[in-house]
A and B are shown apart, each in its own frame.
Chain A
Amino acid sequence: MHSEDVHKRFGRLEVLKGVSLEVTKGETVCIIGPSGSGKTTFLRCINHLEKIDDGRIEVNGQLIGYRQKKGKLVEDSERNIARQRTQIGMVFQRFNLFPHKTALENVIEAPVHVLGTPKEQAVGLGKALLGRVGLADKVDAYPGKLSGGQQQRVAIARALAMGPALMLFDEPTSALDPEVTGEVLSVMEELARAGTTMIVVTHEMGFARKAANRVVMMDDGLIIEDGTPEHFFEAPTHERTKQFLSKIL
């Protein structure tokens, strides 16, 4: 993932003021920062759930959401954007599971109907993925019957089922009870160890310290610090980062 000078405005309010970030294959990058700093917006721009007003974002060398036309960037067709999104898994703060489908149906929905994977093969994959997130026994449960932590793990399996090159996590544990955040974080740590490329917006400093290769601090629409967890937590250079860390640690 490569982003260059990304700008995003909501009306008059400029939420992203030129965000440039490079994430290489296999890396886990945590984005932290106070609320309103634009970290969630930036994440949503990466799979074009938000349109960017300026700059460019590439995933796997492919420009996201736009194409070059006569030297200018124009928004890409819906079909192409949809195809690009199959490469980018997203896990939402509020899970957003499909409530009318069982855990397994949630996971195989897109492989079957978007990628055209044969149903049997998708079911095999879906069961394996649900097993990987520790829910082998909940295959036929509807989301309404699952705890928040279980729902979020199904959501992770659903995103993984597309075989994405990049996984985005938007505050995946913020809507969870403290006692179940652990089960979601350990699934994510396992993914990070297995070499999944991940960008995680989070307030979980423990996770950032343990699982991230890099930690990025955003404030007021800009990246103000970018470094290894050791550097970030032991010797932050920016005054704002020190302030932020002293408040939450």
Chain B
Amino acid sequence: MHGLVAVDWHVIWQQVFHPSHVLFRTLWATVYISVASQAAGVLLGLLAALARMSRFAPFRWISGVYVLIFRGTPLLVQIFYVYFAFSWPSLHFGFWTVPDAAIAGIVALSVNEGAYMREIIRAGIDSVDRGQMEAARSVGMTYGLAMRRIILPQAARVIVPPLGNEFNNMMKNTSLVYTIGVFELFAFSEQNYSQTFIADYFLAIAVWYLVLTTVWTFIQALIERRLTESERGEELSFRERLENAWNPMAAWGRGIQHR
């Protein structure tokens, strides 16, 4: 339509600095769908990782097939199948309603995420020295207690950085549930565009996605800092972590390996 790309700054300014209630509602939908899906995905990934390491062979097979299917097929296909093949209830919490499409979206995103989290969590558990499990058991811990108290807290240090990446992806992937009719951030821009044909609505919500992912970067840096409390000294400072998250090359410049 335009010969030159003309950005309508007014629209962006309005949507970013004077957001409507509708925009906030869709922003909230994006946030809760991301958080719920990631949390459930981590849980599923943990179960699948434990199943993968189980002595009972059928558990290992189930875990393998799970990952094969959900990592090997498109997320969009999974979302459509989950939504249309099953009937989902809407949930009501007082004045807040979670529509059936959002539930289906959360389920599909969680199950998909679990397949990716399995490998991340397994790598984390593998990174913990074998002697830790032996020491835990030698003081009378059962496998479950040793996992919970000794192994997983140490694995968390290895798990959290890639987990942060996954969550960053998750926040952006939630835009796919627009296709099954969830009214979230992307749906907001699409609706406005189809009424006005002003493409800058897409730019405006891109800014909002950027705000979400940036806030998360800060939170992740804080979590990583907490997790490395016991090894203060060799640890990167809060500022260095932020710099790494913003720009991996910053770490290279200082000769520190970026994780």
Contacts and interface: CB of A to CB of B under 8 A. Distances in A.
* A interacts with B: yes
Given A109-B149, A144-B230, A96 B134 contact: yes
A85 B135 CA distance: 11
Nearest to B134: A49
Contacts of B131: 92, 94, 96
By size class, the interface of chain A is 20 to 34
Interface in A31-57: 47, 49
Contacts of A113: 141, 145, 149
B153 to A, nearest CB: 5
B129 A96 contact: yes
Contacts of A179: none
B214 interface: no
A207 to B, nearest CB: 22
Counting chain A CB atoms within 10 Å of each CB, the highest count among B135, B145, B150 belongs to B135
Contacts of A115: 140
Given A78-B142, A79-B142, A110-B141, A142 B135 contact: no
B138 A90 contact: yes
B159 to A, nearest CB: 13
A233 interface: no
Contact of A97 (B135, B138, B143): B135
Contact of A99 (B137, B143, B154): B154
Counting chain A CB atoms within 10 Å of each CB, the highest count among B129, B138, B142 belongs to B138
Contacts of A92: 131, 134-135, 138
Contacts of A101: 230
A25 B150 CA distance: 32
A180 interface: no
A162 B134 CA distance: 16
Nearest to B142: A82
Interface string A66-102: 0000000000001100110110111010101111111
A159 B139 CA distance: 7
A247 to B, nearest CB: 30
Nearest to A97: B135
A114 interface: yes
B121 to A, nearest CB: 17
A243 B27 CA distance: 79
B56 to A, nearest CB: 13
A78 B143 contact: yes
Nearest to B234: A144
A159 B35 CA distance: 41
B132 A82 contact: no
A85 B138 contact: yes
Interface of A: 47, 49, 78-79, 82-83, 85-86, 88-90, 92, 94, 96-102, 109-110, 113-115, 142-145, 155, 158-159, 162
Closest 7 CB pairs of A and B: A86-B140, A96-B135, A110-B139, A96-B131, A90-B138, A142-B230, A114-B140
Given A85-B139, A96-B135, A101-B230, 10 more contacts: A82-B140, A82-B141, A86-B139, A90-B138, A92-B135, A109-B149, A110-B141, A113-B145, A113-B149, A114-B139
Interface of B: 129, 131-132, 134-143, 145, 149-150, 153-154, 230-231, 233
10 contacts: A82-B140, A90-B135, A92-B131, A92-B138, A99-B231, A100-B154, A114-B140, A114-B141, A115-B140, A142-B230
